[in-house]
Amino acid sequence: MNAMPPVEVKTTNPAVLAFVEEARALFKPENVRWCNGTKWEYQELLKSLVDAGTAQWLNPAKRPNSILVRSDPADVARVEDQTFICSRSKDDAGPTNNWAGPDEMKRTLAQLYDGAMAGRTMYVVPYSMGPIGSPIAGIGVMVTDSAYAVANMHIMTRVGDRVLAALGQSTDFVRGLHTVGYPLASPSAADVPWPCNKTKYISHFPETREIWSYGSGYGGNALLGKKCHALRIASVKARDEGWMAEHMLILKLTNPEGRVKYVAAAFPSACGKTNLAMLVPTIPGWKAETLGDDICWMKFGADGRLYAINPETGFFGVAPGTSNESNLNAMKTLHANIIYSNVALTDDGDVWWEGMSEPPAPAIDWMRRSWTPGSGRPAAHPNARFTAPAAQCPVIAKEWEDPAGVPIDAILFGGRRASVVPLVSEALSWRHGTFLGSIMASEKTAAAAGKVGELRRDPMAMLPFCGYHMGDYFQHWITVGEKGGSKMPKIFYVNWFRKSPEGKFLWPGYAENSRVLKWIFERCEGTAGAVDTPIGKLPAEGALDLNGLNIAPGALSELLRVDRDGWRTELPSIREHFATFGAKLPAALNEELDALGQRLG
């Protein structure tokens, strides 16, 4: 294939042209490449990664048009300790973010950026988060010297000339600067397979809608459309403009009569979010389809309801643990056109990771070493990833690219709790639901630092992703609820992970979670029974459809038991959590906490 020809610049937007020229003057690349978003361009990017030794083609009979990329062992995950919110006021970043002054951070990064792309190509990536032209979507322009990042952005977002045409002369776009921080003495100088820098910064400037990233080429550090734009910057934009940018999957449920409800759900990591997004219901006649597995943007429609889009066009999923048993639809999505990062390579040119199937023997691990089962180390990195086009998912909903979005009927919160939290409860009101989201927690497992069973609170699953003070974020939830009034979605709190005193899971989970979703669907329709309890409304006796499910009566009663003592014991922990947010904690949440205490008696 010939080298990529020069590309005509398809914009006259002064703000875009000035942004790109300033970046070129700062980074001093060998050349500049405007990305047009074509399939040909994508294939050329893959070829360049293979030619550079960064990637290799997988067996086309096994994984057509797919590559395996191996990163530097020092560049394998998001770097939360080097992720900064550079708001003008430190108070606006709040207690859950690292803060740095914007002027100081820009001085630091400008020095690192000076000449950082020497000998390299600077790619200009115009991208749309959400369907191009949608009133809920948003546009960004990112510059980067990483072909890996550009190829991933091709899958994860809508890239190219169409985006520039939709932007027109507007200045309303997020400006993203990214470099791996590994300049070359000349374009012909020897490179490394995975260029990166030991120094890393992922910095966000919320007021000016800018993202400055340095030193890392992996995942959310380099794919600036993902967590940086779609959550950290978008959450601030949403606060300022009266909408919501949330870390939620979007699911379409259809009952046997053909009626539809749309559900958004927020879960911390390791709580089955992607599995729920691609669920296969076990109840006859019910259908579940996915609109998104990670991010949800919601704006009010003309009818006063919240309408949601998935701003992404792909899945950037954790590979280890994904299998035909845990997520058949994800596995079916991964048949072709995939970028695999840091998984193992089998001797027949296919991929493998822990939990996928019986281990292959032998294999090449993610660090290019020979590997056999029982070698005492994982073959795939625990944060190994697949980047997959959402359109390939066999259960992608037809509405997933509808510019108008879909009306959300229910919002789910959940965490991994062995005790206290029942299988499902319905919030008493939007405000009470906001309270439940604000106290979301998962118990630490043996694999995590700290005491087993200790709670890690992750409000709305947004702890690493909220771009401003979380006290203000809670208030934004309350304000949005007041605006939407009776048309707001119902809120539910779920927990698939409750255990017996002997430590056994009481609920089978996975596909059987469709039984809980059915009750939620019917609660939205007003047809399922519920009982009032101090913590919310729980399924009435017989309201959960358990036909064909082998579950002991004792297990069900424990799953739906309101553990008053457990909740009372947790009240001081919630107060301590709320104290983190100081004077910015909405009074309404303390009132909800007091009311819970009174109801518990």
- Catalytic residue numbers read 271
What length does the chain have?
601
Q: 48 in helix, strand or coil?
A: helix
Three-state SS across 469-508?
CHHHHHHHHHHHHHHHHHHCCEEEEECCCCECCCCCECCC
Written as one string, the DSSP assignment of 399-464 is GGG-TT-EE--EEEEE---SSSS-SEEE-SSHHHHHHHHHT-EEE--TTSSS-TT-EEE-GGG-TT
Half-sphere exposure (Cβ direction) of 447: Cα atoms closer than 13 Å = 2
- Give the Cα separation of 153 and 151 in Å (integer): 5
Question: Quick one: tokens of 593?
Answer: 């906490």
What single-letter DSSP state applies at residue 230? I
The C-alpha angle with vertex 444 and arms to 438 and 447, in degrees rounded to 5, equals 145
Three-state SS across 344-404?
EEECCCCEECCCCCCCCCCEECCCCCEECCCCCCCCCCCCCEEEEEHHHCCCECHHHHCCC
Q: 98 in helix, strand or coil?
A: strand
Helix orientation angle between 470-484 and 430-438, rounded to the nearest 10 degrees? 160
Q: Using an 8 Å Cβ cutoff, are 142 and 224 in contact? A: yes
Question: Quick one: tokens of 470?
Answer: 């979380």
- Give the Cα separation of 258 and 294 in Å (integer): 26
- Give the Cα separation of 479 and 182 in Å (integer): 46
- Give the Cα separation of 565 and 449 in Å (integer): 27
Which secondary-structure segment (H or E) carries 264? strand 260-266
Question: Which residue(s) pair with 31 in the sheet?
Answer: 121
Q: Work out the number of other CB atoms within 10 angstroms of the CB of residue 82.
A: 17
Question: Which residue(s) pair with 34 in the sheet?
Answer: 124
- Give the Cα separation of 404 and 92 in Å (integer): 32
Q: Using an 8 Å Cβ cutoff, are 304 and 487 in contact? A: yes
Residue ranges of the alpha helices (H) in 226-266? 234-241
The C-alpha angle with vertex 255 and arms to 250 and 260, in degrees rounded to 5, equals 45
Q: Using an 8 Å Cβ cutoff, are 374 and 251 in contact? A: no
Q: Which amino acid is at 281?
A: P
- Helices and strands of the chain, counted as H and E runs: 16, 32
